[in-house]
Amino acid sequence: ELNEAMQRTGLLRQQVEVLEKQNGTLNDDLAKEREELEDLRIQTAQAEATIKHLMEQKRRHDEALSVYAADKEELDNRLAESLTQIQALDGARQQLKTELKAKAEEVARHIKNETALRERADKLASEAKEDRREREKAVAAM
C-alpha cells in the first residue's frame, strides 16, 4: 500500500508538473492575445479618429460646395474620394470590431481553460497531500 501510495503520489506530482507547464504556456498565449487585443483596440481607435476626421472633411466639403458653385465638379470629386475613404475605413472598422470580438472570445476561452487547469492542479495537489497523509499514517502505524 505504501508503495502504491508513493507511486500514485509520484504520478500525481508528474501530472501537476505537466499541468503547471500547460498553465505557463496558456499564460504566455493569453499575454500574447491580450497584446494583440490591445493592438486591435488601438487600431480601432485610430480608424474611428480617421473616420471622424474624414466626416469633418466631408462637412467642410459640403459647405464649400454651396459657396463655390463654379467649382462644383472638383468638390464633388473630392467628396467622392472622402466617401470612398470613409467606406473603406468603415469596412476596416467593422473588420476590426469582428476581430476584436473574436479575440475577446478567444481570451475568454483561455481564461476558462486556465481556470480549469488551476482547479485541476489544486485537486491534484489536494490528492497528493491526502496521499502523503495516508502514507504518513501507514508509516506511523508500522
Q: Whole-prediction pTM value?
A: 0.36
How does pLDDT run across 53-83, given as a tens digit for each residue?
Answer: 999 999 998 887 777 776 778 878 888 999 9
Between CA 60 and CA 70 the distance in angstroms is: 16
How does pLDDT run across 23-41, given as a tens digit for each residue?
Answer: 999 999 999 999 999 999 9
Contacts of 76 (CB under 8 A, 6+ apart): 65
| CA angle at 42 for the pair 37 and 47, rounded to the nearest 5° | 120
- Residue in the structure block whose three cell numbers are 490528492: 127
Better-scored residue on pLDDT, 133 or 67: 133
